[in-house]
């Protein structure tokens, strides 16, 4: 038993190292491509549109922060490698809710364009893709050849349809949801097949301790006796976040848990569940906080607290995951900033370190998100009336 565990740990460790190496190398490749192509590509487009010729500068500084944000943001196509017309990417469906109804087409119709120069015309409406946002195209191109209008505050003034596209993040969400469903239903089947008396095997033995951990150390610990009905929700949250955190570390994958929309939805669920299951004393504590003479100050604070807790939950997960990815890309980006192979070993060493750290963060953030959700549910369900009386009694005897 003990030897089996140690072998398992060792193989996990080796896996982590290989994984991290792969990650840093692949990022390396990904980041190196745009250096060679992006400038020439935009240059070609610009020269076509305007007929003017700008000198191509291979030593032009690379905007690493732009690269980093491109990597962590959502995209309408699943980009694998390459750039511009050489890029290899999986086209994904674009679904737009426009004033004239639903419009759908494949993202490949934009031809990898993110500058708003390629116009897709559907149902008499014209769309452009600008930095992975879909907008209604302007009638005439601007001086850069883009069919977008940039206002005084440097923001786009184009109107935008509601974008329900199956983006890269949405695809990964679907895939992980299916993966989680398949894994856990197969575990459920193995209980039925092998019976409950036999020792767990394979993925069952790996994931069962996590399930028991969520049930006992997260749900029961924070919610208490009535934790059973919240356990399925907490398990779903935990494994969805955990799987996406880890899959997000793979270079070509999407950064779902580092996307604020995803964490927003989970936090809103937490907010709803917390307040639906709340006890009377929870509401009393919010709307009639003691001491009463400070009511007009405390009540708004308590009310803000209701929303600030899930809000913090949303920001924490999003910022941790997105931040980790930015750090990794920035470290790899050092190679391109210094334009030297000599920096690569340093860069890779640091990236390796951060990647291993990110594996820890992936697990930790899934745990923290679930644990805090359970904590909020538990504290809202708690009956404070006994506690406060006890505190008063103590107060009285103290004097």
Listed in sequence order, the residues at least 6 apart from 96 whose beta carbon sits closer than 8 Å to its beta carbon are 102, 103, 104, 127, 134, 161, 162, 163, 164, 165
- CA atoms in the 13 A half-sphere facing the CB of 24: 26
**Distance separating the N- and C-terminal Cα atoms of the chain:** 59
CB nearer to other proteins: pick between 203 and 339:
203
CB nearer to other proteins: pick between 328 and 348:
328
The size of the interface with other proteins (CB under 8 A), counted in residues, is 56
Q: Evaluate whether 379 touches 278 at the Cβ level (below 8 Å).
A: no
43-62 residues in contact with other proteins (CB under 8 A) are: none
Three-state DSSP class for 62? Answer: coil
CB nearer to other proteins: pick between 167 and 365:
167
Residue 375 has which token pair? 């904590």
Cα distances (angstroms) measured from residue 238 to each of 229, 317, 378: 15, 12, 17
310-329 residues in contact with other proteins (CB under 8 A) are: 322
Q: Interface with other proteins includes 192 (CB under 8 A)? A: yes
- Best CA proximity match to 147, nearest among 157, 164, 92: 157
Distance CA 220, CA 191 (A): 23
CB nearer to other proteins: pick between 239 and 282:
239
CB nearer to other proteins: pick between 79 and 285:
79
Q: Interface with other proteins includes 41 (CB under 8 A)? A: no
CB nearer to other proteins: pick between 46 and 156:
156
One residue of 48, 63, 121, 389 binding other proteins per CB under 8 A: 63
One residue of 5, 51, 53, 197 binding other proteins per CB under 8 A: 197
Q: Evaluate whether 373 touches 265 at the Cβ level (below 8 Å).
A: no
Provide φ and ψ at 161, rounded to 5°: -75, 160
Q: How far is the CB of 320 from other proteins (least distance, A)?
A: 14
Q: How far is the CB of 222 from other proteins (least distance, A)?
A: 17
Q: Cα dihedral sign for 337, 342, 348, 349?
A: negative
Distance CA 332, CA 32 (A): 10
Q: How far is the CB of 14 from other proteins (least distance, A)?
A: 29
CB nearer to other proteins: pick between 170 and 374:
170
104-163 residues in contact with other proteins (CB under 8 A) are: 131-133, 150, 154-156, 162-163
| Interface segment toward other proteins; rule CB under 8 A; list 6-14, 139-147, 207-215, 336-344 | 207-215
Distance CA 279, CA 236 (A): 24
Geometric angle at alpha carbon 161, from 156 and 162, rounded to 5° = 115
Q: How far is the CB of 203 from other proteins (least distance, A)?
A: 12
CB nearer to other proteins: pick between 314 and 352:
314
Distance CA 75, CA 168 (A): 5
Q: Interface with other proteins includes 286 (CB under 8 A)? A: no
Residue 125 has which token pair? 């409406």
CB nearer to other proteins: pick between 51 and 101:
101
| Interface segment toward other proteins; rule CB under 8 A; list 37-45, 259-267, 337-345, 379-387 | 259-267
One residue of 33, 49, 70, 109 binding other proteins per CB under 8 A: 70
Q: Interface with other proteins includes 202 (CB under 8 A)? A: no
Cα distances (angstroms) measured from residue 18 to each of 11, 67, 128, 331, 349: 10, 24, 40, 18, 13
One residue of 45, 137, 231, 374 binding other proteins per CB under 8 A: 231
The contact set with other proteins (CB under 8 A) reads: 63, 65-66, 69-70, 72-74, 95, 131-133, 150, 154-156, 162-167, 169-170, 173-174, 177, 180-181, 184-185, 187-188, 191-192, 196-197, 208, 211-212, 215, 231-233, 235-236, 240, 259-262, 264-266, 269, 322
């Amino acid at each position: 038993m003990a030897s089996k565990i140690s072998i398992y740990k060792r193989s996990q460790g080796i896996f982590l190292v290989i994984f991290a190496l792969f990650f840093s190398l692949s990022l390396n490749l990904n980041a190196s491509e745009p250096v060679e192509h992006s400038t020439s590509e935009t240059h070609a487009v610009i020269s076509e549109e305007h007929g003017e010729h700008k000198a191509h500068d291979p030593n032009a500084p690379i905007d690493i922060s732009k690269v980093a944000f491109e990597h962590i943001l959502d995209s309408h196509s699943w980009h694998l490698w390459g750039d511009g017309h050489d890029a290899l990417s999986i086209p994904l469906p674009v679904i737009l809710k426009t004033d004239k109804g639903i419009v759908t087409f494949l993202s490949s119709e934009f031809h990898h364009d993110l500058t708003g120069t390629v116009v897709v015309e559907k149902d008499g409406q014209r769309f452009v893709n600008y930095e992975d946002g879909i907008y209604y195209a302007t009638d005439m191109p601007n001086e850069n050849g883009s069919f977008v209008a940039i206002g005084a505050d440097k923001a786009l003034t184009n109107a935008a349809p509601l974008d329900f596209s199956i983006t890269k993040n949405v695809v990964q969400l679907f895939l992980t949801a299916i993966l989680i469903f398949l894994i856990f239903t197969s575990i459920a089947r193995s209980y039925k097949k092998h019976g409950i008396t036999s020792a767990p095997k394979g993925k069952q033995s790996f994931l069962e301790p996590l399930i028991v951990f969520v049930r006992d150390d997260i749900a029961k610990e924070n919610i208490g006796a009535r934790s059973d009905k919240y356990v399925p929700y907490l398990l779903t949250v935990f494994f969805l976040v955990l799987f996406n955190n880890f899959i997000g570390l793979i270079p070509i994958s999407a950064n779902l848990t580092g996307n604020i929309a995803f964490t927003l939805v989970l936090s809103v669920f937490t907010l709803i569940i917390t307040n639906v299951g709340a006890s009377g004393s929870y509401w009393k504590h919010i709307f009639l906080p003691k001491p009463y003479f400070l009511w007009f100050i405390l009540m708004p604070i308590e009310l803000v607290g209701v929303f600030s807790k899930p809000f913090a939950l949303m920001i924490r997960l999003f910022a941790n995951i997105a931040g980790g990815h930015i750090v990794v890309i920035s470290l790899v980006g050092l190679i391109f900033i210094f334009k030297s192979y000599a920096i690569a070993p340093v860069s890779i060493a640091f990236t390796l370190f951060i990647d291993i750290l990110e594996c820890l963060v992936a697990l930790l953030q899934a745990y923290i998100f679930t644990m805090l959700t359970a904590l909020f549910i538990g504290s809202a369900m708690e009956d404070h009336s006994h506690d406060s009386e006890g505190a008063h009694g103590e107060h009285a005897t103290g004097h």
